[in-house]
Structure 1
Amino acid sequence: MLVAAAEMLSVASSAAASRRIWFSVRHYCKPAPTKLRISEALSGAEVGTTVKVQGWVRSVRLQKKHLFLHVNDGSSSKPLQIVTSSDLSDPLLTFGSSVEVTGILKKSTHQRQPVELQADEVHVIGECNPVNFPFKIKQTPSIEYIRQFPHLRCRTSAFSSLLRIRAEASATIHSYFKENGFVQIHTPIITSNDCEGAGELFQVEPPIPEIDENFFSVPAFLTVSGQLHLEVMSGAFSKVYAFGPTFRAENSQSRRHLAEFYMVEAEISFTQSLEDLTKVMEDMFKSVTEHVLAQCAEDVDLFHRDVRPGHRDAIDVMLQKQFPTITYSEAIKILNHSSERFMFPTQWGCDLQTEHEKYLVKHCGDIPVFVTDYPYKLKPFYARDNKDHPEHTAAAVDLLVPGVGELCGGSLREERLDVLRAQLEEVGLEDTYSWYLDLRRFGSVPHGGFGLGFERYLQCILGVDNIKDVIPFPRFSHSCLL
């Protein structure tokens, strides 16, 4: 009896095991859905297959038999249309909610969308109360309105387009420098140097002053520019660049200034001509812009259509024409002969203000213009002295662009040790910058460089009026949200 029972249990166990194996094999053979980003789904490469997408609902439309959703995950300017049975409708399936959708990707019969997803599963991952959500379905909020919600504005079409453009422009700038033989340098954010000499510095201090009043043994600040560190590197590399955040403690609420912004800076050795710098500025501007217009066409079109209508034509003119060059002295003459009434003075020796810069751009045909040879006293100690007479000028250059004003600023650097020492003595900085004099003592070469404000560049090509609308989290006086 015991043997018989054991045999029966063995047979039963074998049968159960075979069933388990059968179910396991059956489950294994069932094709798992391919997980796609929305941009990948819209490409149509996976048409006819079962796919899974995840994203946020941009619109909901319920009919008697069908439910239509538009879902986006930030990878594309266009959403993917989801079509499913109205039986899958869920009260939590609202505008702004996050979802996971599985179904078969099919070609769409509508001309405006190449594919659509015939869904058999729709799961709400995160609900969103559309009453309290600050952005409403079928509304296009202004960029001024969405600026009030820095933690939510990436959910809007305009700002998600801006972030994709920003990412593409950033990557393209890096590619441009790499293709042209520049070496990237990671310049420090904390520094003891004040490159600009304007005193607009954020000082860095330890949280408990009793530990050490000067944590670094010298006063330390957030960088206003990586230029001086690039000059160090230009003693060993003929072409270097940096791309990172910079900080200015300006108490400004203007449309052109931020307390934290990104700067593209380059330094070129063995150059004795401002033309060497202006060629790189112009070529980089045009090359990067052409690439961004091509790769982010739909995102850029949104701005050229909804934010600054007709701006694409202005950009095309900028790309087609060579940027003119005028001297500072010529610029002053143009301003003094104009019928425009300026708020700030325009005599020789004054600094050009935004109103002056915009007028000069307009005067030159609404295309970017280089202004060179500024009064020597207007430029920092490192700018090369032209030694001209009677107009004492520096070998400095600014690139002025439509709608913004100054986009780039650069100069040849003073490589003559005696001239540089005299200038540092005059401003009382000889001891502070003794290391800078060493650069001229040991294998110095003529060199120069420039800096480009990345946010101002985006303002220029997109036609955005306020610099706060082209950076994810704007920092300015009396505002540091998030």
Structure 2
Amino acid sequence: MFRAAVKTLSVGSRVSLSPGLSEIRHYCRKIPTKVRISEALSGVALGADVTIQGWVRSVRSQKENLFFHVNDGSSLQSLQIIASSNLNSPLLTFGSAVEVRGVLKKSTHPKQPFEVEAEDIQIVGECNPVEFPFKIKKRHSPEYVRQFPHLRCRTNTFSSLLRIRSEATAAIHSYFKEHGFVHIHTPVITSNDCEGAGELFQVEATCPQDSENHHFFSVPAYLTVSGQLHLEVMSGALSKVYTFGPTFRAENSQSRRHLAEFYMVEAEISFTQSVEDLTKVMEDMFRTATEQVWAQCAEDVDLFYKHVTPGHRETAEAMLKKKFTIISYSDAIDILQRSSENFVFPTDWGCDLQTEHEKYLVKHCGNLPIFVTDYPYDIKPFYARDNQDHPQHTAAAVDLLVPGVGELCGGSLREERLDLLTTRLEAAGLEDTYRWYLDLRHFGSVPHGGFGMGFERYLQCILGIDNIKDVIPFPRFSHSCLL
């Protein structure tokens, strides 16, 4: 057919199309374009023959017409489909997966700019609405939805959360890239306990090992609790590095703030001798990422502020309007001791701040984020730099406390002085374990520091979500590892 449509051309002859080729082009123009619902709602394919694929969110049948809404996860808003009633099917139910072919047109309804006039409807996946745990037009509680980790992405709230989470991830990567940081993939399996708390998941092979050494790696290995020490290695050659990945803590906790598996954003900066250099990056990253999430996920964020955490928008906006306050640990203890609150945990100088202390301090400072610096040396890990010039024995460490969450970020300058670091490791009986860490101070060490931010806690903070289990796709905590 194509050969018949092509005429032999000589030099200087005019090109003309035979009726056969014109018909082919006309036919090609009628082939439906596969369009995502977010694109359809923007009108990019207005008037075109389109194919829409997604899941049914509502169905309404009349005598002559059929109306239903489809969502494919690309947008909070669903797209209305209009069809003749003879295209209806008993399998077209809430939750079923469909493929619709039709024409994208302007809608006469004020709440939906565009709709599809369907010419063909195919049921791709059936769904029994009676057995489906989520019901049409019903807002389920987070506790109820949490029971179905394999299905909760079908709800509006959780699909919005996943889009926000994705955008926040991109925003954080973008921030570090724009500020000259190199992304490092730090290992998930490690022989180090960075935090020193002993809350580790040990890794062992399921297959039998030789009798002489039962460890697969010849030494005990664990799931990482932090990528910090590996970042410190890299900061000896690349002055600004970061990592963003899963970390693991074997905490036997059912609290609203803790998970056994969560994501951490960690950064390390060389040639710095100031805690303020760290606080600047923490605050700047927080602001930049949040502004990008608000700009790119406005509808999804609005859903949370209107229906899930009403009133939190004002708190979130206030966090970005004012510069974060900085107070010392000693000032924080003074505030707590002068408080009329009956704290469960002690507030003596030298104690570690607990969640109840952190939340009170945030509230005391206007319900805005605050940095707490210069913690007691003895409660900080071995790598924290000794503030030798302070009257009380403190470390150059800093935590960022935020509304509703408490601690969001933790960081410190690292001890680059070999003699002080050696003394502390010897006192802890860790000199042999961390001899490689001492080697870093032998070969071109520089003053440096870094911090880590819990990604799920960040999402809790900006959205006002009470339970950390509701901001991660598949929560892992003690006595629970569904899927």
TM-score (norm 1): 0.94
* Alignment-derived partner of residue 413 in structure 1: 414
The residue matched to 2:394 in structure 1 has which SS? coil
* Alignment-derived partner of residue 272 in structure 1: 273
* Alignment-derived partner of residue 162 in structure 2: 163
The residue matched to 1:267 in structure 2 has which SS? strand
Asked if the contact 1:407–1:457 (Cα under 8 Å) also holds between the matched residues in 2, the reply is yes
Query: Does 2:450 align with 1:452?
Result: no
**Identity within the alignment, %:** 75
The residue matched to 1:395 in structure 2 has which SS? strand
1: CA distance between counterparts of 2:172 and 2:387? 31
Asked if the contact 1:206–1:213 (Cα under 8 Å) also holds between the matched residues in 2, the reply is no
Counterpart AA for 2:266? E
List per-residue Cα deviations over 1:19-66 (Å, max 9, x = no partner): xxx999957742200110111111101111110010000000011111
Query: Does 2:81 align with 1:107?
Result: no
2: CA distance between counterparts of 1:233 and 1:111? 56
2: CA distance between counterparts of 1:243 and 1:138? 37
* Alignment-derived partner of residue 50 in structure 1: 49
The residue matched to 1:55 in structure 2 has which SS? strand
The residue matched to 1:75 in structure 2 has which SS? coil
Counterpart AA for 1:66? N
Map 1:303-314; keep pairs closer than 5 Å: 303-314=304-315
Asked if the contact 2:404–2:466 (Cα under 8 Å) also holds between the matched residues in 1, the reply is yes
Asked if the contact 2:209–2:215 (Cα under 8 Å) also holds between the matched residues in 1, the reply is no
2: CA distance between counterparts of 1:385 and 1:366? 31
Map 1:383-394; keep pairs closer than 5 Å: 383-388=384-389, 390-394=391-395
* Alignment-derived partner of residue 422 in structure 1: 423
Deviation at 1:388, TM superposition (A): 3.9
1: CA distance between counterparts of 2:143 and 2:277? 40
The residue matched to 2:475 in structure 1 has which SS? coil
* Alignment-derived partner of residue 399 in structure 1: 400
Map 1:15-164; keep pairs closer than 5 Å: 29-30=26-27, 31-164=30-163
Asked if the contact 2:209–2:216 (Cα under 8 Å) also holds between the matched residues in 1, the reply is no
Query: Does 2:256 align with 1:255?
Result: yes
List per-residue Cα deviations over 1:249-278 (Å, max 9, x = no partner): 000000000000000000000000000000
Asked if the contact 2:460–2:467 (Cα under 8 Å) also holds between the matched residues in 1, the reply is yes
Counterpart AA for 1:359? Y
2: CA distance between counterparts of 1:385 and 1:306? 47
Number of residue equivalences: 463
1: CA distance between counterparts of 2:324 and 2:224? 31
The residue matched to 1:373 in structure 2 has which SS? strand
Structure 1: give runs of 5+ residues left out of the alignment.
Answer: 1-13, 15-21
* Alignment-derived partner of residue 244 in structure 1: 245
2: CA distance between counterparts of 1:475 and 1:439? 35
2: CA distance between counterparts of 1:260 and 1:352? 23
Deviation at 1:361, TM superposition (A): 0.2
List per-residue Cα deviations over 1:112-138 (Å, max 9, x = no partner): 111000111111111000000000111
The residue matched to 1:224 in structure 2 has which SS? coil
Asked if the contact 1:143–1:158 (Cα under 8 Å) also holds between the matched residues in 2, the reply is no
Counterpart AA for 2:370? V
2: CA distance between counterparts of 1:389 and 1:277? 20
2: CA distance between counterparts of 1:208 and 1:371? 48
2: CA distance between counterparts of 1:165 and 1:210? 44
Asked if the contact 1:61–1:68 (Cα under 8 Å) also holds between the matched residues in 2, the reply is yes
* Alignment-derived partner of residue 186 in structure 2: 187
Map 1:237-386; keep pairs closer than 5 Å: 237-386=238-387
Counterpart AA for 1:432? T
* Alignment-derived partner of residue 438 in structure 2: 437
CA gap of 1:146–1:24, structure 2 versus 1, over 3 A, is: farther
Structure 2: give runs of 5+ residues left out of the alignment.
Answer: 5-18
Give the root-mean-square deviation of aligned CA atoms.
Answer: 1.5
2: CA distance between counterparts of 1:175 and 1:56? 32
